[in-house]
Structure 1
Amino acid sequence: MNLESPKISVSKSPEEVFNFLSDVKNFKSLMPENISKFEVLGDDKFLFALKGMPEIILKKKEVIPPNKIILGAAGGKIDFSLIGNIVKIDDASSEVQLEFTGDFNPMMAMMIKGPISKFIETLATSIPKAI
């Protein structure tokens, strides 16, 4: 399953956006209102939970400055990635798009597609306000 957030314009350079997203504690400011738990577990890992959902641990898997950050599931039964793609528009602005990829059975994919789409859209649209 592959889902993409809308492309969001940010009035910051790609380096500034990349540096913001590279610091896992900054993801707290991007989370939706229905977050029930957020905990930084290290320099490259954090745990979060949304009301009514299981806790999820995300870990930085790969960084390609200043254009891409890949976070992946750390532990748990489900393997997925959250990819932040950053594209330079000019020296003072960039465009960000989040991408969610995971391998789910058809029933699971059907159940989580809506909530995950809304979640990554919330994360992406929060970036310009948070930086």
Structure 2
Amino acid sequence: MTIIQNSVVINKPIAEVYNFLSDLNNHEQLMPENIYNWSSTADVARFTIQNMAKLALKINQRVENKEIICVPSEEAPFEVKLAWKVEEVSANETNATFVIEAQLNMMMKMMASGPLKKLVDHQVNKLKEILG
């Protein structure tokens, strides 16, 4: 199992950060430019990763003010789980951690771990940019 993660402290209350992340419609704002054909509801998102694959993700677990877990809702190129974990630092500060767990063989690991790391880093940076 390959685990890629990054964290950021957001200057907002935990409920505000959790509410933003728990709606997949908001996740389009967190995506890099190589993501297109985005369509989403609060629970499901479909998109294409340029030169790679089409993906459909659904939220399969929400733990209020703690965690949001997404898994593929259709066949994916590899087994993957995406999780946003939020922890209260103070009344107006929240630590948000984005974790991707992927089942990658050696070949896929060489090809996908770099782009996945960039995705994780991009999303936590965009979250801080959007929510402050």
**Take 2:4 and 2:22, find their aligned partners in 1: how far apart are those partners?**
21
Large movers: runs of 4+ above 6 Å: none
Residue-by-residue CA offset, 1:30-85 (whole Å, 9 max, x unaligned) = 01122222111x33100122221211111001111101111111111422111101
CA-CA distance at 1:88 after TM superposition: 0.6
The one-letter code of the counterpart of 1:71 is C
3-state SS in 1 of match to 2:18 = helix
> SS where residue 59 of structure 2 aligns?
strand
**TM superposition score normalised by structure 2:** 0.91
For residues 130 and 38 of structure 1, the distance between their equivalents in structure 2, rounded to whole angstroms, comes to 19
Three-state SS of the structure 1 residue aligned to 2:27 is helix
Which residue is 2:63 aligned to?
64
Considering only aligned residues, what root-mean-square deviation do their CA atoms show, in Å? Answer: 1.2
The AA in structure 1 aligned to 2:56 is I
**Matched residue of 2:53: which SS?**
coil
* Structure 1: gaps of 5 or more residues: none
- Distance (Å, rounded) in 1 between the aligned partners of 2:3 and 2:85: 14
Q: Which residue of 1 aligns with 2:44?
A: 45
- Deviation digits for residues 15-44 of structure 1 (CA, Å, limit 9, x no counterpart): 11110001110001101122222111x331
Paired with 1:48 and 1:93, the residues of 2 have a C-alpha distance of 31
- In structure 1, the partner of 2:34 is 34
- Kindly, what percent of the aligned residue pairs are identical? 24
**Residue 11 of structure 1: CA displacement?**
0.8
Could you list the runs of 5+ residues in structure 2 that have no partner in the other structure?
Answer: none
Aligned residue pairs total: 129
